């Protein structure tokens, strides 16, 4: 009788342990990825607002901005100043003379190319 009882307790204890470890394994499952983070910019969704504007601001504004020494050749002054001047795409993608003194990464160039190809969406 005593032996039966201890087997019963052992079995109960084992079942309890098993249940606990199983529950824990369920709890540490990685979270499903959230969808409310920023959407990455790709050649499919590139716009002036999500990419191109900031690039002109950092790569061109120093020389061509309202306080730049080269503003008389081309004044960078927001969306319209890029959209209405075909020399911009030409200088970056065809003659590749701009941005003078710095370079664009392969992915920056690809995104800009896609943006010009789409007709420069704002």
Q: Which residues bind ligand HEC (CB under 6 A)?
A: 59-60, 62-64, 70, 73-74, 87-88, 90-92, 97-101
Query: How would you label 4-21 residue by residue, b for 16+ Cβ within 10 Å and e otherwise?
Result: eeeeeeeeeeeeeeeeee
Place of tokens 């900031």: 54
DSSP state at residue 91 = I
Which lies closer to ligand HEC via its Cβ, residue 37 or residue 101?
101
Which lies closer to ligand HEC via its Cβ, residue 50 or residue 93?
93
Residue least distant from ligand HEC (Cβ): 60
Tokens of 112: 């800009």
Q: How far is the CB of 23 from ligand HEC (least distance, A)?
A: 57
3-state secondary structure of 8: helix
Can you say how many angstroms the Cα of residue 4 is from the centroid of all Cα atoms in its chain? 65
Longest pairwise C-alpha distance within the chain = 103
Which lies closer to ligand HEC via its Cβ, residue 53 or residue 62?
62
Q: How far is the CB of 37 from ligand HEC (least distance, A)?
A: 28
Q: How far is the CB of 40 from ligand HEC (least distance, A)?
A: 22
């Amino acid at each position: 009788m005593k032996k039966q009882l201890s087997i019963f307790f052992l079995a109960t204890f084992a079942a309890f342990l098993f249940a606990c470890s199983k529950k824990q394994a369920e709890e540490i499952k990685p979270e499903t990825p959230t969808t409310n983070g920023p959407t990455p910019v790709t050649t499919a969704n590139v716009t002036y607002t999500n990419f191109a504007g900031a690039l002109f601001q950092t790569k061109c504004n120093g020389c061509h901005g309202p306080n730049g020494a080269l503003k008389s050749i081309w004044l960078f002054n927001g969306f319209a100043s890029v959209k209405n001047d075909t020399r911009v795409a030409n200088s970056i993608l065809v003659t590749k003379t701009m941005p003078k003194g710095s370079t664009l990464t392969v992915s920056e160039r690809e995104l800009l190319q896609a943006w010009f190809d789409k007709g420069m969406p704002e």
